[in-house]
Amino acid sequence: MKVFDVIFISSLVLGFFTPALGNNKLIELKKRKEALSRTKVEAPNLGPTLEDQIRDSFFDPKFDYATFTGRVTDRDDTNSIVKISSENKNIKFFRSGDLVRFRLAAKNSRNCRGFVRSVEKDYFVLYVQNITLCWGSGKYFRRGAMLVFNSKALASRVRDASTYRIVLLKRRRSFYKQLNDTNHFVWSYEQEKIKVAAEYDEKITMLRQAKQKAMDMMATKKKDSINIQRELAYRLDHMDEDLEFYRIDKDEPKIDRWHLDHDLGKPVNHRPKASYYTD
């Protein structure tokens, strides 16, 4: 039997007789993993799309956000402090010290200058340094008078607020998604725990099978190596005999047998004298 034949037969024996350890457990783990994946809670709908949510934050550059109307609700005796009510919700963006120009809505009077002093819901307070510069002396604000206001600072803040609100909407949506992922983990903790344990049990089973297969391969390889060792030793012995048998010698005797034996040191007599050989 040749060496390669021994290796081939040993491999066939290993493939047919290697035990499959834990096959039933492995199939059970796979079924449990598939069942757990089907029980995963779907993420709830996060509501309208982001484009729908930011429609009310759209800043129209063609619209005049600087101009709005309001009514005088209160004033002091000097007409320098005036409280204004307005239905424009953007007045909440006023800050103390903002410059505001205004005039009477009933007629095209000269614009007066005022500075925002404070802001509250639906109201803001103006400080008018000198009302006589735009309305003349002896005139004052009547309660309920309709005024038209114009403020470039307010228009700029409305534009910035629109941009910042879009950023806040995106951030809120991101927070909702993170909260949903966190809730899903908390609610499905036990299922996820079983799933992770099943995955590692499967890996352990496969590793044990790989270890057993490697050990069986090592044992089979040892047996094959012993057989190959004997076969190679036997063939080397016969090969030495064949090499010795097929050795080629090149001898050319140049002297007769007497000289050959004499040179080899064998016991021979001295060479006979020539008279003995005369006829």
- At 210-260, the pLDDT tens digits run 999 999 999 999 999 999 999 999 888 888 888 888 888 766 555 555 555
* Statement: residue 93 has pLDDT above 70: yes
Domain around 24: 3-36+189-222
pLDDT for the residue 19: 44
Residue 278 belongs to a domain:
no
Residue 276 belongs to a domain:
no
Please give the structure tokens belonging to residue 241: 């005999």
My answer on whether 174 and 214 are in the same domain is no
Q: Which long-range contacts (C-beta less than 8 Å, at least 24 apart) are formed by 185-193? A: 187/41, 188/39, 188/40, 188/41, 191/36, 191/39, 191/40
* Statement: residue 208 has pLDDT above 90: yes
Amino acid at 232: L
Model-level pTM?
0.51
Residue 141 belongs to a domain:
yes
My answer on whether 54 and 164 are in the same domain is yes
| Distance (Å, whole) CA 186 – CA 180 | 10
Give the single-character DSSP code of 256.
Answer: -
My answer on whether 19 and 93 are in the same domain is no
Sort strands 81-85 and 112-120 into parallel, antiparallel or unpaired. unpaired
DSSP string covering 148-174:
EEE-HHHHHHHHHHHHHHHHHHHHHHH
* Statement: residue 14 has pLDDT above 80: no
Residue 231 belongs to a domain:
no
| Distance (Å, whole) CA 225 – CA 3 | 10
| Distance (Å, whole) CA 220 – CA 214 | 10
